[in-house]
A and B are shown apart, each in its own frame.
Chain A
């Protein structure tokens, strides 16, 4: 009972009723506490119903009465089967109150605290928990303005230092310098530029640095005074212009002046100081350069249109005279060009016709040659045959016969050889086929086994994954268990419950034993009563028969009848005693329960309250009369 009360009170507290800590059993519940508990439950269960209810008992009696009535109404609405009235709340009796509170507690929704601990286990739960833990951590830390926070993730943005190494780059200016310098730069003491820088990472950086320095020194750059940025802005278009000029020169070199072997060094010389490749290091670019130049050369050999010559015709004379001369010159040129073109066309056509003729003749000659070769081979064979025939001709008939015999013999021999060969061939072929078949079968088996192995491996993997998952789950659940509040010692309760269940079972056994004993006794009684009646009836008859004749027997009969009556009265009295004792026990029980209900004290309270209500009514009446 105590335990049950404690559980009930705990759940009522969780529902929100303000029950002081020291109240541990329902016996200590006063009217206030009862009202507070019920109102708290109603607020959780039916907020709409309990909107007008306060957890505190109002001072006025009528108000209290009203509150009690509304509470009773609300509880009946919820479905409470027993009768309720204001008295259940204002003058609570322990058993009734217990039943009501149990009813309400059952109806309460499950604890939200319990709800949250119900695991939605799985990865999302783990993630949520991790998030929750991190947020808790962050909340636990004091807030620091962002600027003052310690830098944590500087690792992945580590700028690498640019290591630059000075190296010797032979400059083409030295063409004009002393030959000694040339010798030095081209000789073995100065390694090629990339080899001068041992560290690979530094090569690119050094080259860039050197190039940048050289750009700064460009002739048009009197702008050492200028800012670096302005300088660089002008640099790109300047470079493009330079390149165009130098390439343009190369392209427009006319038929008169071929540009053979213009070294890349020379070209870049014209571009800037000392930015040429070291001599003796012909790069692929240089060779390609030369190649394209050679092509340019060839292109210029084709009948030149000599655009360069056209500008030369532009002489600075008077405009009209100039135009006439110009036109005449152009026409003459055009005529000559057209003649030339016609000539070329004719020669092309002739060449085409020649080519065609030659192709046809070639084809014909080839065909003739092949035919000739074929016929030669055929004739050679025929000649051989005829030669042999001619040799045999002198003795024609006998030779013919001999030939036939020889042919027959060789045919027979060949056939004989063939059958011998068969004797070798067939078993070998059969063996080959058998081996092949066996190999195929073995391959099939091994592929089956491989498939099985695969399946087993997959099972293993699946089992391993399952085991890992379960382990994770287990860890998660253990962690959750640790974080659970430990005040509810469920084990103690389960222990008690099991004990109670055991004791109830024992009691039930005893009851059944007693019942069976009672049944047995009752059966005995019935049997004995029956026996008694039968014996009496028999005796009665016997004796009565003889009683008509004999007096002593008549007397015996009378005594028998009296004996039977007295005994039956005795039995009746015993039975009545037993019944009365049972009634006494029942009545005693009833008295106990009634006294538990504290009816007397409640009655006194009711009388007092009745008097208080009457006084209030009288007071109100008086006020009404006054108003």
Chain B
């Protein structure tokens, strides 16, 4: 228990406070324990207080170089003790993906700051959560970090909505995720992107890897650099210019127009055959079933994935115990699959690190 708690409490990295004052300046006024200049700049970009006519986004989150950031922004009412501040954002950086937990926590911190006007109180709660995992909230309740499980965060998205928006085309997203390709999602509203993209890694549930998710990226050199070092990712942009950057994506999802485009160089790897049609039909059928819940749909998809992987593993030579089974190109060729399926299995093996080198 102690170890679990210890592991958990190391997840939060820091907390920061950004204020917008009556002069119209947005300043980073306080942080604990420390931040780098790079991170500061990036977070100033992410919080919606810079820029003249940006609308207020209450809660945004994203990832940058394996650090998750969660930003809650509030407007300061006139009655508060903070006289020179019009808006402020509380930024929390952490190592894990758990939007609900950190949204709740930052809300508490916001209210505390509004009431007391001093970050010291905020820090007390932060340290309490850091050391004990619990803190008192303003409304006679308490915030327990163990109430917010990671798995719940993974399953919180609605896969059914995704399938209902894209139908059979969901199999393109499935393929891209399986093959660890780069997906870029565009929508003018960040909340829509966040809602949509958090569900996508659930399509490859066997990996349970949400570190490929970068839900809020700007077309900025640093962020794009950080993005490029990842092999495959899901990146969300609110800037429509991203559609003119084919170097950034293999699959482009225009969420606003519900269109999926595969970029030219990736078309060869993403060719789809009978297998994909099967998978697509399964996904659609499963999602359309009104009796099934989201988690059941995800389960169905993951079963199918496991089937494919087991099939793939069966082609491999028997390997030493403990190591992954490896297969070679020739073995695959001997099975004489149709070219699209063979291509897919090839790439899948590479993605699952099952290729013999």
- What is A's interface to B at a CB cutoff of 8 Å? 357, 360-361, 363-368, 370, 385, 407-408, 411, 414-415, 418-419, 422, 425-426, 429-430, 433, 436-437, 440
Q: Are B350 and A360 within 8 A (Cβ)?
A: yes
Q: Are B23 and A364 within 8 A (Cβ)?
A: no
Which chain B residues border A364 with CB–CB below 8 Å? 350-351, 353, 355, 357
User: Can you name 22 A-B residue pairings with CB atoms under 8 Å?
Assistant: A357-B329, A360-B346, A360-B347, A360-B349, A360-B350, A363-B231, A364-B357, A365-B357, A367-B231, A408-B131, A411-B131, A414-B32, A414-B127, A415-B120, A415-B124, A425-B30, A429-B27, A433-B21, A433-B22, A433-B25, A433-B84, A437-B22
- What is B's interface to A at a CB cutoff of 8 Å? 6, 21-23, 25, 27, 29-30, 32, 84, 118-120, 123-124, 127-128, 131, 180, 231, 329, 346-347, 349-351, 353, 355, 357
A385 and B7 CA atoms in complex are apart in Å by 10
Q: Are A367 and B127 within 8 A (Cβ)?
A: no
Given the known inter-chain contacts A366-B231, A433-B84, please indicate yes or no for A361 contacting B355, CB distance below 8 A: yes
| Shortest distance from the beta carbon of A444 to any chain B beta carbon, whole Å | 12
| B33: nearest chain-A partner, CB-CB | A414
Which chain B residues border A385 with CB–CB below 8 Å? 6
Q: Are A422 and B357 within 8 A (Cβ)?
A: no
Which chain A residues border B120 with CB–CB below 8 Å? 415, 418-419, 422
Given the known inter-chain contacts A364-B357, A365-B357, A429-B29, please indicate yes or no for A418 contacting B119, CB distance below 8 A: yes
Which chain B residues border A430 with CB–CB below 8 Å? 84
Closest 10 CB pairs of A and B: A360-B350, A364-B350, A411-B127, A436-B23, A361-B357, A419-B120, A418-B123, A418-B120, A364-B353, A364-B355
Which has the most chain A C-beta neighbours within 10 Å: B21, B23, B128, B346? B23
Which chain B residues border A440 with CB–CB below 8 Å? 23
| Shortest distance from the beta carbon of B84 to any chain A beta carbon, whole Å | 5
Question: 19 more A-B contacts (CB under 8 A) besides A364-B357, A429-B29, A440-B23?
Answer: A361-B350, A363-B231, A363-B350, A364-B350, A364-B353, A364-B355, A367-B351, A367-B353, A408-B131, A411-B127, A414-B32, A415-B123, A418-B120, A419-B120, A422-B119, A422-B120, A425-B29, A436-B23, A437-B22
Which chain B residues border A422 with CB–CB below 8 Å? 118-120
| B343: nearest chain-A partner, CB-CB | A356
A425 and B355 CA atoms in complex are apart in Å by 58
| A382: nearest chain-B partner, CB-CB | B7
| Shortest distance from the beta carbon of B95 to any chain A beta carbon, whole Å | 10
Which chain B residues border A368 with CB–CB below 8 Å? 353
Which chain A residues border B127 with CB–CB below 8 Å? 411, 414-415
Q: Are A418 and B32 within 8 A (Cβ)?
A: yes
| Shortest distance from the beta carbon of B355 to any chain A beta carbon, whole Å | 5
Which chain B residues border A415 with CB–CB below 8 Å? 120, 123-124, 127
| Shortest distance from the beta carbon of A337 to any chain B beta carbon, whole Å | 30
Q: Are B25 and A436 within 8 A (Cβ)?
A: yes
Which chain B residues border A425 with CB–CB below 8 Å? 29-30
The secondary-structure label for the interface of chain A is helix
Which chain A residues border B231 with CB–CB below 8 Å? 363, 366-367, 370
| B324: nearest chain-A partner, CB-CB | A368
Which chain A residues border B32 with CB–CB below 8 Å? 414, 418
| A386: nearest chain-B partner, CB-CB | B3
Q: Are A437 and B124 within 8 A (Cβ)?
A: no
| Shortest distance from the beta carbon of B314 to any chain A beta carbon, whole Å | 19
Q: Are B123 and A414 within 8 A (Cβ)?
A: yes
Which has the most chain B C-beta neighbours within 10 Å: A385, A411, A422, A425? A411
| Shortest distance from the beta carbon of A251 to any chain B beta carbon, whole Å | 37
| Shortest distance from the beta carbon of B313 to any chain A beta carbon, whole Å | 15
| Shortest distance from the beta carbon of B300 to any chain A beta carbon, whole Å | 27
Given the known inter-chain contacts A361-B350, A364-B353, please indicate yes or no for A433 contacting B123, CB distance below 8 A: no
A426 and B85 CA atoms in complex are apart in Å by 13
Which chain A residues border B329 with CB–CB below 8 Å? 357
| Shortest distance from the beta carbon of B278 to any chain A beta carbon, whole Å | 24
Q: Are B350 and A407 within 8 A (Cβ)?
A: no
A367 and B119 CA atoms in complex are apart in Å by 42
A69 and B346 CA atoms in complex are apart in Å by 132
A367 and B128 CA atoms in complex are apart in Å by 38
| Shortest distance from the beta carbon of A158 to any chain B beta carbon, whole Å | 58
A418 and B122 CA atoms in complex are apart in Å by 10
| Shortest distance from the beta carbon of A356 to any chain B beta carbon, whole Å | 8
Q: Are B355 and A360 within 8 A (Cβ)?
A: yes
A414 and B123 CA atoms in complex are apart in Å by 9
| A432: nearest chain-B partner, CB-CB | B27
Which chain A residues border B30 with CB–CB below 8 Å? 425
Which chain A residues border B355 with CB–CB below 8 Å? 360-361, 364
| Shortest distance from the beta carbon of A354 to any chain B beta carbon, whole Å | 10
| A435: nearest chain-B partner, CB-CB | B23
Given the known inter-chain contacts A361-B357, A407-B131, A430-B84, please indicate yes or no for A367 contacting B123, CB distance below 8 A: no
| Shortest distance from the beta carbon of B102 to any chain A beta carbon, whole Å | 20
Which chain A residues border B23 with CB–CB below 8 Å? 433, 436-437, 440
| Shortest distance from the beta carbon of B9 to any chain A beta carbon, whole Å | 10
| Shortest distance from the beta carbon of A428 to any chain B beta carbon, whole Å | 10
Which chain B residues border A429 with CB–CB below 8 Å? 27, 29
A419 and B123 CA atoms in complex are apart in Å by 10
A414 and B21 CA atoms in complex are apart in Å by 27
Which chain A residues border B6 with CB–CB below 8 Å? 385
A239 and B32 CA atoms in complex are apart in Å by 81
| A416: nearest chain-B partner, CB-CB | B120
A368 and B357 CA atoms in complex are apart in Å by 12
Which chain A residues border B21 with CB–CB below 8 Å? 433
Which chain B residues border A408 with CB–CB below 8 Å? 131
| Shortest distance from the beta carbon of B296 to any chain A beta carbon, whole Å | 30
Which has the most chain A C-beta neighbours within 10 Å: B22, B127, B131? B127
Which chain B residues border A363 with CB–CB below 8 Å? 231, 350-351
Which chain B residues border A361 with CB–CB below 8 Å? 350, 355, 357
A436 and B20 CA atoms in complex are apart in Å by 13
A176 and B260 CA atoms in complex are apart in Å by 75
| A359: nearest chain-B partner, CB-CB | B350
Which chain B residues border A366 with CB–CB below 8 Å? 231
A418 and B346 CA atoms in complex are apart in Å by 56
| A408: nearest chain-B partner, CB-CB | B131
A412 and B23 CA atoms in complex are apart in Å by 35
Which chain B residues border A365 with CB–CB below 8 Å? 357
